[in-house]
Amino acid sequence: MRRVVVTGLGVLAPNGLTVEEFWESTSRGVSGIAGITKFDASDYPSKIAGEVKGFDSSRYIGKKDAKRMDLFTQYAVYTALAAVRDAEYDILADDPERVGVIYGSGIGGTLTFEKQHANLLRKGPRGISPFFVPMQIIDMSAGMISIILGAKGPNYSTVSACASGAHAIGDAFKTIQRGDADVMITGGAEASVTPMSLGGFCAMKALSTRNGEPSKASRPFDAQRDGFILAEGAGTVVLESLEHAQKRGARIYAEIIGVGFTADAFHITAPAVGGEGAARAMKVALEDAGILPEDVDYINAHGTSTKPNDRTETAAIKAVFGPNADKIAISSTKSMTGHTLGAAGAIELIVTVLAIKNQTVPPTINYEYPDPECDLNYTPNQARKMDIHVALTNSFGFGGHNAVIAVKKYEDEQAAITPETLKISS
């Protein structure tokens, strides 16, 4: 089993258009939630969202290519280009057949579907664009990244609702680990702030209606939480085998050491009672990484700001970590970004990597009223400097899909990952 490291990052989020801007905002507790500007949301119960503002695809992608991509694919391509640039990696000068792309999205080209359906109603079948199908299908994110960058290795997309990005990264990790590629470009993207998406989540009564206080609406684990905030964005990471990264002298951010994938087998939207499926995913990730529960310093929680999720995720963490649960630093950065659906797992993996790099736990903002059922250390309102050696990032999706990624501080002198080389908490 080969060791796998993170060498490049690219992100687009409601509170930052670059990795540097995103981390600065996230570590300072700056929210990207505001009133919706992409369309008239005055008739919707929820009128707020986490929009990506200031993104101009023509600055990064040729106009001809951009016109043939849904916005979620543009986000994916932009962050992939940024991540590869950050990694200082030239695919074509290496071996393109050993470079793959696995990319996730929860709902893909919904904006394209809505626009083309409007054309159908207005103009009939002749009004539908010949690019409709390739623009709206989810796998086009992976396809366009490979076309533009020239990556010829394993290539596909993952779809598991809000766990899509995490599943993509987990699959990419395993692809390198078993030797099927040396480098993987992976992550998740979503451009979900659209009339139908907003309307659908409103119909489910899943969204916050705290419209008068947008920046305070996403409040994971807080007793007054009333739903999640629809958001959009993308996150891409470059993963490499340690040998490949060392051979080319790459900067290494952190090391991926394990993943855990499980299913609730319970309900189409509600989490399993007591967070049973989520707990198993964390246990599997720990076992895959070869570490103990007491080795974990930080958990980037799924933490959606809904009543059921936050309650059951808290229960799941307690089930896995027992008496050590309240010693672990936890935070939900969805309090600042909102819920980016299929991009969330990727964006939050980037948060976790940066938390390890900067030895700083970002806060859960808007935590004001403790909930007796959510009684762990959620790093309320202020970032915390601390030693972070091992971290988990949790992602859970509608349909009962659970994905957990274990990340470790990279240590160059470490020959192998064993319990003896890890910090064991007292």
Residue 302: active-site member: yes
The answer to whether 296 and 391 are in contact (CB under 8 A) is yes
Q: Between the CA of residue 172 and those of 3, 4, 185, 282, what are the distances in Å?
A: 12, 10, 8, 18
Q: Which of 223, 247, 271 is the last residue of a domain?
A: 247
Does 419 fall in a domain? no
Name the residue with tokens 């050696």.
389
pLDDT by residue (tens digit) across 68-125? 999 999 999 999 999 999 999 999 999 999 999 999 999 999 999 999 999 999 999 9
Give which of 46, 48, 68 is closest to 57, Cα–Cα.
Answer: 68
Residue 389: active-site member: no
Q: Are residues 206 and 280 in the same domain?
A: no
Give which of 271, 281, 371 is closest to 317, Cα–Cα.
Answer: 281
User: Given pLDDT bands bounded at 50, 70 and 90, which one contains residue 59?
Assistant: confident
Q: What is the pLDDT of residue 208?
A: 98
Q: What is the pLDDT of residue 60?
A: 80
Distance, in Å, from the CA atom of 195 to the CA atom of 409, rounded to the nearest integer, reads 42
Stretch 206-216: mean pLDDT, rounded?
Answer: 98
- Decide: residue 128, CB within 10 A, 0-12 exposed, 13-18 middle, 19+ buried: middle
Domain that holds residue 367: 259-411
Q: Are residues 312 and 181 in the same domain?
A: no
Q: b/e for 356-368, b at 16 or more Cβ within 10 A?
A: bbeebbbbbbbbe
Distance, in Å, from the CA atom of 231 to the CA atom of 222, rounded to the nearest integer, reads 20
Q: Are residues 71 and 220 in the same domain?
A: yes
Does 154 fall in a domain? yes
Instruction: Name the domain count of the chain.
Output: 2
Q: Are residues 239 and 332 in the same domain?
A: no
Q: Are residues 267 and 151 in the same domain?
A: no
Q: b/e for 404-422, b at 16 or more Cβ within 10 A?
A: bbbbbbbeeeeeebeeeeb
Q: Is residue 422 predicted with pLDDT exceeding 80?
A: no
Does 417 fall in a domain? no
Q: Is residue 424 predicted with pLDDT exceeding 80?
A: no
Does 193 fall in a domain? yes
Q: Measured on CA atoms in the order 414, 91, 106, 197, is the torsion positive or negative?
A: positive
| Helix residue ranges, H only, 128-219 | 132-136, 140-149, 164-177, 195-203
Distance, in Å, from the CA atom of 72 to the CA atom of 18, rounded to the nearest integer, reads 17
Does 254 fall in a domain? no
Q: Is residue 10 predicted with pLDDT exceeding 50?
A: yes
Does 418 fall in a domain? no
Q: Which of 247, 269, 304 is the last residue of a domain?
A: 247
* DSSP states of 279-292: HHHHHHHHHHHT--
pLDDT by residue (tens digit) across 363-405? 999 999 999 999 999 999 999 999 999 999 999 999 999 999 9
- Decide: residue 372, CB within 10 A, 0-12 exposed, 13-18 middle, 19+ buried: exposed
Q: What is the pLDDT of residue 170?
A: 98
pLDDT by residue (tens digit) across 397-421? 999 999 999 999 999 754 444 444 4
Q: Is residue 172 predicted with pLDDT exceeding 60?
A: yes
Q: Which of 216, 247, 278 is the last residue of a domain?
A: 247
Stretch 274-279: mean pLDDT, rounded?
Answer: 97
Q: Are residues 213 and 335 in the same domain?
A: no
User: Given pLDDT bands bounded at 50, 70 and 90, which one contains residue 144?
Assistant: very high
Does 188 fall in a domain? yes
Name the residue with tokens 């083309």.
116
Q: Are residues 202 and 170 in the same domain?
A: yes
Q: Are residues 57 and 90 in the same domain?
A: yes
- Show the tokens assigned to 356: 């390890």
Q: Are residues 274 and 339 in the same domain?
A: yes
List of E strands, 364-413: 384-385, 390-397, 401-408
pLDDT by residue (tens digit) across 328-364? 999 999 999 999 999 999 999 999 999 999 999 999 9
Mean pLDDT in the chain?
Answer: 95
Q: What is the pLDDT of residue 57?
A: 85
pLDDT by residue (tens digit) across 218-262? 999 999 999 999 999 999 999 999 999 999 999 999 999 999 999
Q: Are residues 269 and 239 in the same domain?
A: no
CATH number assigned to the domain comprising residue 72: 3.40.47.10
Distance, in Å, from the CA atom of 73 to the CA atom of 393, rounded to the nearest integer, reads 24
User: Given pLDDT bands bounded at 50, 70 and 90, which one contains residue 426?
Assistant: very low
Q: Are residues 19 and 156 in the same domain?
A: yes
Does 420 fall in a domain? no
Q: What is the pLDDT of residue 421?
A: 45
Q: What is the pLDDT of residue 415?
A: 46
Q: What percent of the chain has pLDDT over 70?
A: 97
Distance, in Å, from the CA atom of 81 to the CA atom of 240, rounded to the nearest integer, reads 16
**Active-site entry in 167, 339, 389, 401:** 339
Q: Are residues 322 and 243 in the same domain?
A: no
**Active-site entry in 167, 244, 302, 389:** 302
